[in-house]
Structure 1
Amino acid sequence: MDGTTPGQRAALDHVLAVVDGSWLAGVLVLRGSVTMPAWVGDRARPPGDIDWMVRPMEFVSRDDLDPYPYVSKVDPVRHWPEVAHGVRCEIWESEDLDTGGHRPRVPPEGLRWISDTDADGYELSRPHNALLEQLTSRPETGDGVRLHPDKAERDGSWGYTEYAEGSGVRIHIPWQSRSGESGSVQVDFAYDERLPEPPVLTAVPRAAGQRPLGLWTASRELSLAWKLHWLHADQAATGSSAAKDLYDAVQLAEIQGIRLPCSLRRTLTVTPDDILTWTIAGGGGDAGPLLVRLAEAVRSMSAR
């Protein structure tokens, strides 16, 4: 399996820490190789990149024809004193602010409500941009690795289109250490992709004895279901699957007591016999034993 240099791992862990310390932790769900140590410990291969799913933002635009209570000012529901209370009240008295029991919701100063007319095409949440802004404020790790978010490369056409519907953004963030080592961290953001089951709060391990980070992640069961789906999809599309995905699937499938719920099992079409026929690319060795182990683990899960 591919290795990860100390500088690369430090940069990767720093990105996770920046997310953990910001509002992004509430809208991003982590999946992929970074989560594997939480499930299988030292058997996990070194993580190579960071893969986020973006939770959809709950949003209802204001109705332009009937905006109340989301009004820009209290004027529409104010009871002018000379009308509501008669001539005994002056317009500069406290009654001037009376709303007659109505409770309008005025936006915070300097902001405005988003209406129907400007909601179309409005980018409500683009965490990949927010992450780069956060890294601009916190570019350096504790051990001398500095990230350069201003030089990040964005690929807005990226996405897991071969596996699922939805758009995505891939960014490469350059980094450099004091010793002269350099590289880049790949961070993927999957937008509009459905999460088949709720995320779980996971203690995600980091290198060099640093404390784990509490982040929302895909569960180990969902991670396994995805791996099996991706392996099977690659076989159908290209005739081979990646050795790293096979390795991850074996580690997840052999977790003691793991069992896919019915909601995930019914989405899988792969059988143990199918697994034994797969062609595996890369890895530098015989994939046969791993295929046998995966087939046996899947067969065992099906019997539970």
Structure 2
Amino acid sequence: MTPSAGDASSWTRLWADSPHIPHAPLDDATRRHADLPATLLPAPAGMHHPAVFEPALKQFANAYRAGEPHFEDAATGQAWHRARRTVLDTVLAAVAEGPWARHLVLRGSVLMATWFGDAARDPGDLDFLVVPQDRAMDGPRTVGLFDTIARDAETAAGGAVRIDAAAMVTENIWTYDRVPGRRMLLPWTASGIPGGTVQLDVVFNEPLPAPAELTGLRPLGDGPGCRIPAVSPALSLAWKLLWLVTDAYPQGKDLYDAVLLAEHTPPSYELVRDAFVLSGAEGVRPAGTWWLDELDVETGWPHFTAEHPWVTEDAASFRGRLARALGPLLESAERPGEGGYTRWARWLQPLVESTRATAPDRPEAALGHLCEGGRDGLTAATVIVREVVGRERLRPEDALAAVLTDGSNWRYWRENPDACRRALDELR
């Protein structure tokens, strides 16, 4: 017999028995046995959360988070969503008025709701990146970040909603991809409706390709508005494209958001380029129509529509809309008559400039990290070395040879000359 959502055994068969988060209590032993994130909590009575795959938590065998809730009673659902928006207002205002305001830059669903209103996904979490970039997640300058936010939010929530700072839960995210981060869940309650949690994701060591802008946020619910450092729509789009093109598990929400952004804000070649190449080795391949083949979110689309059933267009329709909106950008990226080398050099300009500034005499010594990008990383390192030293002084073959002399990073390529030739073929 299939376990019910209230049966504790349903936690060990998550998704196999039901696509919803169980209501049953979850003890530490069961959590460890099922390898579940600490931030996955039982669903409150009266509401149903779909279990949604979460790439940020894929260090767990069951990398799920609670998706957008469904309610047995529509009026309760409306009141709950209004209360959650009020909690978001409260937490944002606490951050804006607190000691961490100048070190946290907002991005994500709250900004999408600010820019696009009802067309945006209902905001349910807060996404921040830490500035300056060199602040380490576990460093002394970051001690107390989450405790302070939780405590300030609890103090600020003196009205219809209440926040329990002592019950906060934190978890590391993106342990295998991107940049390090930590997630915090803050439980909240309100009279007459089920309680909930607000999720805060904070990432560290991520480059900020364009300066944050002090942005006025109107209230989402019945809480206060605030002014807080935030990214622009143009940078939001650049990051959405980066994640869609380079992530191992591109997400439906990123495709949906990218369409809204691209149809409203024409993408800038320079800003998109900066976001890609400053992200690491995965972003060094120049933009082009090949991007359109990477917009494969079919696997995750059912998870997205389970959370957002009002989205009636399929993934193919959204891919088509994004392709049309990206037309001018891709034309800028693939200029008629432009050779491969020139296209790569134009795309890699930010890395050329930073390498010239930090390692002008031995640029190859500063580029070992690009080996993580495979053939694209080798091609990029070759171009950067040649641009720093001078095209008139080095042929591409000579620049590649210089790259291969640097330590153990390029050992595979030194032992596989045919693979090196294919890397040079990219520059024809």
Residue aligning to 2:101: 25
Q: CA distance change for structure 1 residues 186 and 279 in 2, over 3 Å: closer, same or farther?
A: same
* Correspondence 1:292 to 2:320: yes
Q: How many residue pairs were aligned?
A: 233
Between the aligned partners of 1:175 and 1:299, the Cα distance in structure 2 is 44
Q: Any idea what SS the aligned residue of 2:173 has?
A: coil
Q: Is the 8 A contact 2:262 2:322 kept in 1?
A: yes
Q: CA deviation at 1:35?
A: 0.8
CA RMSD across the alignment: 2.8
User: 1 or 2 for the larger relative contact order (CA 8 Å, sep ≥6)?
Assistant: 1
Q: Is the 8 A contact 1:7 1:181 kept in 2?
A: no
Residue aligning to 1:137: 155
From 153, 173, 194, the equivalent of 1:181 is 194
Q: CA deviation at 1:42?
A: 3.1
Q: Is the 8 A contact 1:39 1:252 kept in 2?
A: no
Residue aligning to 1:38: 114
Question: Structure 1 length normalisation: TM-score?
Answer: 0.68
Between the aligned partners of 2:261 and 2:183, the Cα distance in structure 1 is 26
* Correspondence 1:123 to 2:132: no
Q: CA deviation at 1:201?
A: 1.6
Over residues 55-113 of structure 1, what are the superposed CA-to-partner deviations in whole Å (9 max), with x where a residue is unaligned?
12899xxxxxxxxxxxxxxxxxxxxxxxxxxxxxxxxxxxxxxxxxxxxxxxxxxxxxx
Q: CA distance change for structure 1 residues 152 and 17 in 2, over 3 Å: closer, same or farther?
A: same
Greater than 3 Å deviation, 4+ residue runs = 1-4, 208-212, 268-274, 301-304
Q: Is the 8 A contact 2:88 2:198 kept in 1?
A: yes
Question: Structure 2 length normalisation: TM-score?
Answer: 0.49
Q: CA deviation at 1:246?
A: 0.7
Q: CA distance change for structure 1 residues 301 and 217 in 2, over 3 Å: closer, same or farther?
A: same
From 20, 28, 48, the equivalent of 2:124 is 48
* Correspondence 1:264 to 2:272: yes
Q: CA distance change for structure 1 residues 150 and 43 in 2, over 3 Å: closer, same or farther?
A: same
Between the aligned partners of 1:57 and 1:276, the Cα distance in structure 2 is 32
From 212, 216, 221, the equivalent of 1:203 is 216
Code of the residue aligned with 2:316 in structure 1: it is: G
Q: CA deviation at 1:212?
A: 3.9
Residue aligning to 1:153: 169
> Whose helix proportion is higher, 1 or 2?
2
Unaligned runs of 5+ in 2: 1-66, 70-79, 277-282, 306-311, 333-428
Residues 181-260 of structure 1: matches in 2 within 5 Å? 181-208=194-221, 212-234=225-247, 237-238=248-249, 241-256=250-265, 258-260=266-268
Between the aligned partners of 2:294 and 2:245, the Cα distance in structure 1 is 11
Residue aligning to 2:388: none
Q: CA deviation at 1:291?
A: 0.6
Q: CA deviation at 1:180?
A: 3.7
Q: CA deviation at 1:20?
A: 1.8
| Percent sequence identity over aligned pairs | 31
Over residues 237-286 of structure 1, what are the superposed CA-to-partner deviations in whole Å (9 max), with x where a residue is unaligned?
24xx3221111000000115x33251432526554453256332224452
Code of the residue aligned with 1:262 in structure 2: it is: E
Q: Is the 8 A contact 1:30 1:51 kept in 2?
A: yes
Residues 65-104 of structure 1: matches in 2 within 5 Å? none
Code of the residue aligned with 1:178 in structure 2: it is: S
Code of the residue aligned with 1:295 in structure 2: it is: A
Code of the residue aligned with 1:215 in structure 2: it is: I
Code of the residue aligned with 2:174 in structure 1: it is: G
Unaligned runs of 5+ in 1: 60-120
Code of the residue aligned with 2:141 in structure 1: it is: L
Q: Is the 8 A contact 1:7 1:145 kept in 2?
A: yes
